[in-house]
Chain A
Amino acid sequence: MTSIVHHIPDHLLLSYASGSLPQPFSLVVAAHVSMCDECRARLGAHEGAGGVLLERSDPIILSESAKNSILSRLDDTVAELEPVHERSGIFPSPVMQALNGLPPKWKSLGMGARQSILEENNEGSVRLLYIPAGQAVPDHGHNGLELTLVLQGAFSDETGRYGAGDVEIADADLEHTPTAEEGEPCICLAATDASLRFNSWVPRLLQPLFRI
């Protein structure tokens, strides 16, 4: 495993731990933590802090029946849990979960680039992107926040180089042109809370069609 340089910042980790982070970003955080021991430890520390606050919270007495009800259910057999999809190749388990255990269904974006949308709703969207080696992702800006986690290969842009496990945090101010490195194709997990604004490559009119 190459060493990870670009991590999830604390405010996003805390937001994930507390449950306030929108679902598309939560998938990127869960995937990055699956690949990064440092962020796993940092998330653990936030959950530790959450635990301390739980211990400090003012107790509110439960109804008499609550405890009896739970104690009487301890021996019940539990329903089968949904299957957990294991890591497969470059895709960590939370990504496989979002893929329902199946390989991605790639759709062409032109010029050899492909995408597979994993989830899209009012909170934003999260997709896999496939960029052929050496090729630029079209120049684009964002209306909101974009998190891009590299799963395979690497890309570089105005802000630096991102290899497997690295995550780029791009906000509305960043206009960037990521370019995949020579070698193997670059595969990323990208989440946004708003649509991307491509400047040239995919004409604006086609954006609704590609759902970018």
Chain B
Amino acid sequence: MTNLSCQNFVERRPPAGYHALAASANDVNERDLSEKTPQTLSDQTLWMLAVRDRRDKRAFSQLFDFFGPRLKGFIMRGGATSAEAEDIVQDVMLSVWHKAASFDPHRAQVSSWIYQIARNRQVDIRRKTRRPVPEELKVEPATEVDSEQIIALEQEAAKLHDALETLSDNQRLMVEKAYLGELSHSEIHAETGLPLGTIKSRIRLGLERLRHELKGTRQS
């Protein structure tokens, strides 16, 4: 992973629209979608909301074009063959389509939601049993889009992109291995170079949101 070509480097940057206010007005498709939602949300969030709320197949196709090849690359890094990886990509993207109703942009950015689905799928395949997952929160899904919260999450993700750029090659490799499931819990524990502190403000955002949503639904 040394000497990334300029093109590669551009490819790996956050997509246009990631940084709030950076609307890519020359993207026709995005402009169409943006009419109803503030332009400050990322392309992926807009596509995902179109899939969730309008079962929009064109938006799904755009999501597939963005995430499909990245998922394949991600899964093959973990040792899968090209054919195996493609099967998993198809399973995961079909789940994205069918489970779209449970996508909540206030809690997770699209990539985070897809990462979860992909990890669950890979664990299920490896163990042939379902992975234990936390219970869903019993709260009414937010009907109104709170752009501020969504943008805050996206900005946190953009910050993390930047933070990863500043790591040494070795540190970055360890972070990637950890999130790809290639390190055991004790290896992660021993790997003190992992910059876990970079997710601190993301935790605070998530916790504020949960407390806001759960207000009144639990006795304390």
Which residues of A approach B to under 8 Å, CB–CB? 1, 9-12, 14-15, 17-21, 23, 25-27, 29-31, 33-34, 37-38, 40-63, 66-67, 69-71, 73-74, 78, 82, 86-87, 92-94, 97-98, 145
Report chain B residues within 8 Å CB of A34: 134-135
Q: Which residue of A lies closest to B85 (CB)?
A: A60
Residue numbers of B with Cβ under 8 A of A are 8, 11-12, 14-15, 57, 60-61, 64-65, 67-74, 76-77, 82, 85-86, 89-90, 93-94, 97-98, 107-116, 118-120, 122-123, 126-127, 129-137, 153, 156-157, 160-161, 164, 175-176, 178-186, 188-189, 194, 196, 198-200, 202-204, 206-207, 209-211, 214, 218-220
- Contact between chains at A60 and B184 (CB < 8 Å): no
B115 touches A47 (CB 8 A): yes
Interface of B is mostly: helix
Q: B204: which A residues are within 8 A, CB to CB?
A: 41
Interchain CB contact (< 8 A) of A48 among B109, B130, B133, B219: B109
Task: Kindly list chain B residues whose C-beta atoms are within 8 Å of the C-beta of A98.
Answer: 132
B53 to chain A, nearest CB (A): 16
Question: Does B112 contact A44, Cβ atoms closer than 8 Å?
Answer: yes
Q: Are B134 and A17 in contact (CB under 8 A)?
A: no
Residues of A within 8 A of B137 (CB): 40
Interface of A is mostly: helix
A-B contacts besides A1-B218, A15-B185, A59-B70, 11 pairs, CB < 8 Å: A30-B134, A31-B134, A33-B134, A44-B203, A48-B108, A49-B160, A51-B108, A62-B86, A71-B57, A71-B64, A74-B57
Contacts A19-B122, A62-B69, A71-B61; is A55 near B111 (CB within 8 Å)? Answer: yes
Candidates A17, A37, A48, A73; contact of B202 at CB < 8 Å: A48
How far does the alpha carbon of A92 sit from the alpha carbon of B156 in the complex, in Å?
31
